[in-house]
Every structure is written in C-alpha cells, then in structure tokens.
A and B are shown apart, each in its own frame.
Chain A
Amino acid sequence: MALPDLVAQVERRLPHPDDFTSPARGPRTTARLGLALGVAFGICFLTGMWSHYQYSMPGWLPIGPNPSWLYRVTQGVHVISGTAAIPLLLVKLWSVYPRLFLRPPREIRALALDGLERASIAVLVASGIFQLATGVLNIAQWYPWEFSFRRTHEAVAWIAIGSILVHVAVKLPVIREALVGRADDGESEASDGPSRRAVLLGAGAASGLAVLLTAGQTVPFLRKVSVLGVRDGDGPQDLPVNRTARAAGAREAAQDPSFVLEVRHGAKVVSLTRAQLAELPQRTHRLPIACVEGWSRNATWTGVAIHDLLALVDAPADSTVKVRSMQTRGAFGTSELPGDFVSDPRTLLALELNGEVLDLDHGYPCRIIAPNRPGVMQTKWVRNLEVVA
C-alpha cells in the first residue's frame, strides 16, 4: 500500500475531537486546572532552585543559619506541591486529550504555526511528567536510569518552567476569556456524566488527598494520617535514616575503638578520642534534619560546638571548616561549613541524639548538625575537621 493511502486509512480510524462527548471538558475547566497547576509548578521551581542554590552555595549571597527551620519548610513545600500537582496534571491532560486528535490545517502558514504550538505543548507535557515522575522515584530512592538525578531534575525544571511560560503566552486570550468571560459556552450543564464543577471539585479533592496521604513525612501532626508516605517518621532513636553506615561503607571505621577526631588548622593539629570529646563543654539544641527528599524531623542533639573545637587549634570562631567523613561509598563524603554556621553556637559536632549515644546509622562516633542546612551536608561519621579559611 502506498504511504499516503496508509496515512489516510489510519486517519479514518483515529477519533475526532467531537467523538469525546463529556461536557465537563473545555477551556473553562482547563484554564482553572492550569492556574492551579501553574501555581504548584511555580512553587516547585522556586523552592527547587533554592535547594540547588543551597547545595552549591556561591559566595555572593550566602545563606545563613537562620531561621533554623527554613530549609525544612522550603523543601517540604517543594515535595508537597509536586505531590499536589500529580492529580491536577492528570485531570488537565484529560480535559484537553480530544485536542490531540485535531486534524492539522492545510494552509501552509497555519500548518507551521500549528506544528510549532504542538511542539511546545509536547515539550511542556514531557517535561512536566518527567519532573513529577523522577521526583516521586527519588523520594523512594529508586534510580532506574543512567543520568544524574540532581543535575537532570534541575535542567528539566528550566525546560518545564520555560514551556509553561510559552504556553501561557500563547493561550493568554483563551485563558482570560475562560476565567473571567461570562459567556455561556454550554459546557457547564451536563445531563450525562459529571459537570465541570464536579470535575474541578474532584481534582481539588484528589490533590488535597494526595497531600494528606504523604505530607506526614514533614508535617508532624499528619504522621498517622499519611499512610502512603514513603516515611512514617520513625527510625533508630526516633529519627529516619537517609543512608545507613553499611550503605556508606563506614561500618568498620566508625566502630574502630582507636578512633580519634583530627582538628587541623594549618600546621597545628589536635587529636581527640571520643571520650575526650565527651569531656569538652557539651551543648544541647533542638534542630531538624531536613532532607532534599522532603522529609524532616526535629531532634535533640548534644555535642561540642564547632567553634569550641576551633579554639583548641587557635582558629577564629568564624572560620570556614572542611568536614571529612569516614564514609567510603556514595556522594557527599565531605562538606564545607561556612563561617556564619561555624560561629553559630548551635552548630555542633553531635555525640548524642535524643538523649542516647548516637546510633551508628546516625553517624556514630560523631556527626555534624547545623541549623538550616540540607540533610546531606549534616556529615556523619566525621573523622577530620580542617580550617580552610
């Protein structure tokens, strides 16, 4: 069969937009879902970029230790708004699905414009689904792909937000008419199947339910309600673990009885056993661990303030300190504490968690805990602190 005939045959079998009869579809439905989805993706974008910024923190605008709960909130909101977006996106795609079967115009200029718009929507849908899917899988620590999650999720975020802006620019007259126009387009009164109002209320309810069923990993009073959350907030010493000592390859070194912590400032080096660390002045603070995966939990930490350790090697209290872990596997084996964290008395080399000796999976013999930092920078199984500036 000749190719044009084949195309014509396939075309005859494809549905037409008119074949989809639900009166709940239409611009007034789509624009309202789009508005909610735009807000959710906008929040995801801003909080996500904030997190990337905090990971790579350049010197020109340092993020300080205050307020101690800030990262907990921004990253919790990031994952919550992404979760809320899943039902909204699915219902929005449902509302425009018939338009996928619109036949392209024959006139060449119109055809080019139509092709361009379809391409931009393909980018929008692909990047939107990609962000939500990879985000959900990252939270469950499942990486069935070859690319780097962090860098790709960041790059595709720019593509997603860019294609949303293009889409809004293209559709603005339709959106305006759909949101504020009073003209009765006959789509609202359904005799058969759900009305527009019912679909919108359903989408809102689904979005809210998806949040309720997962947000307990960061919102304490929802812990019992969030039965579909990947974390229930429990773990050794009442705190979840992101990476165990076994996964980090730190089990042997961390349990070595001859462990000494090395504090280095140029040529001056002080070595301290865990018992000697415990004899230094101890401070107790309540600080959250807040992970990029959106979970967070407050805990009570006891240990030595980092600037007290710096005093032993005659380093200024606001020095920048490089922290090295005993971990042998995985990323973030080192971290850098900027001066304004080091000088904060809440930034500790913690020895105890919730009144007990630090669990091996929480970083025994000693770990960093500082206010307002992503979890991966709260380095565990610390073996070395070095003043670098």
Chain B
Amino acid sequence: MTGRLALGAVGVAAAVWGVVMLSDDGTSRLVNVAVWLVGGVVLHDAVLAPTVVLLGVAAAHWLPRSRRSLVAVAFLIWGTVTVGAANVLLDVGGKPDNDSLMNRPYVVSWLVLTGVLVVMVLVASAVAARRRTGRNA
C-alpha cells in the first residue's frame, strides 16, 4: 500500500509540474490547449468509439458467425493503422516549397493495404470453410 501511495504521489507531482509549465502561457493559448485536450477525448468517446460499436452491431447482424472473428481482427488492424495515418491520407501538412516532405502517393498505398487485408480475410475464411466441410464430410 505504501508503495502504491508513493507511486501515486510521484504521479500527482509530475502532473502538477506539467500544469505549472503550461500556466506560463497566456490565457488564450491555454484555452486553445484545453480545446485540444478535451477535443481528443470527445472525438474518441462520442464519435470514433460509437462508430466502432455500431459497426460491431452491424457485423453481428450481417456476418456469418464463423467469419466475425477474422473480420474483426482485420478491421482492428486496418482501422488503427488508418487513424494513425489520417493526416497523410487527408493530405494535411507539408510545405508547398519543400518536396522532401509529404512526397509519397499515400492514398494509393493505403488502398493497396486495404486490398491486401481484404484478400487475406477472403483467403483465410475460404480455407476455414473448406476445413469445416472437410470435417463434416
């Protein structure tokens, strides 16, 4: 228990130090930081997570039971990699006079990645289906 209290105390101290560092900034900048802090949580909790939940409900409704697992894991990989690459896919950032930055065909690569994952799911579920019919025969 003492160890946990000490760990918690160190954590609180570090976080307070962070707030102190922030408070050097002016009010309007602080408001802007707060908007970004809260905005990330809202974007996740109220937009991204419910979307994933609804997709899960739809998958449970439409997909045959045997394929759900495979599709869910493929979606996990595709979705999280896509979120991480959102800025290059939406082409935000870079500088017009600097072609050593943001200089790749990102959307094409992402479509290829998407296609590869779809093919992998199709092949894996075909293999699984054949195995099942083999067992039943």
Contact = CB atoms under 8 A, between A and B. Distances in A.
Interface in B48-68: 48-49, 52-53, 56, 60, 65, 68
A158 B14 CA distance: 5
A232 B99 CA distance: 10
A162 B45 contact: no
A201 interface: yes
A122 interface: yes
Contact of B14 (A93, A151, A162, A210): A162
A169 interface: yes
A28 to B, nearest CB: 17
Contacts of B95: 141, 244, 247
A192 B45 CA distance: 25
B92 A142 contact: yes
B69 A195 contact: yes
B83 A90 contact: yes
A87 interface: yes
Contacts of B126: none
Contacts, number: 231
B7 interface: yes
Interface in A96-142: 97, 100, 122-123, 125-127, 129-130, 133-134, 136-137, 139-142
B31 to A, nearest CB: 9
Nearest to B11: A165
Nearest to B65: A192
A167 B8 CA distance: 8
Interface string B1-34: 0001101101111111111011011001100110
A56 B109 CA distance: 39
Contacts of B45: 97, 100
Given A141-B95, A158-B17, A91 B32 contact: no
A145 B36 contact: yes
B120 to A, nearest CB: 11
Interface in A57-93: 83, 86-87, 90-91, 93
A123 B32 CA distance: 16
B118 interface: no
A93 B43 CA distance: 12
Contacts of B11: 161-169
16 contacts: A20-B53, A90-B80, A91-B80, A125-B40, A147-B32, A148-B29, A155-B19, A162-B17, A167-B11, A172-B7, A203-B80, A209-B81, A210-B80, A228-B88, A235-B99, A240-B101
Interface of B: 4-5, 7-8, 10-19, 21-22, 24-25, 28-29, 32-33, 36-38, 40-41, 43-45, 48-49, 52-53, 56, 60, 65, 68-69, 72-73, 76-77, 79-81, 83-85, 87-88, 92-95, 97-104, 106, 109-110, 113
Interface of A: 20, 22, 83, 86-87, 90-91, 93-94, 97, 100, 122-123, 125-127, 129-130, 133-134, 136-137, 139-142, 144-148, 151-152, 154-170, 172, 190, 192-195, 198-199, 201-203, 205-207, 209-210, 213-214, 227-232, 234-236, 239-244, 246-247, 361
> Which 5 A/B pairs are nearest by Cβ-Cβ distance?
A140-B93, A165-B11, A162-B15, A158-B18, A162-B14
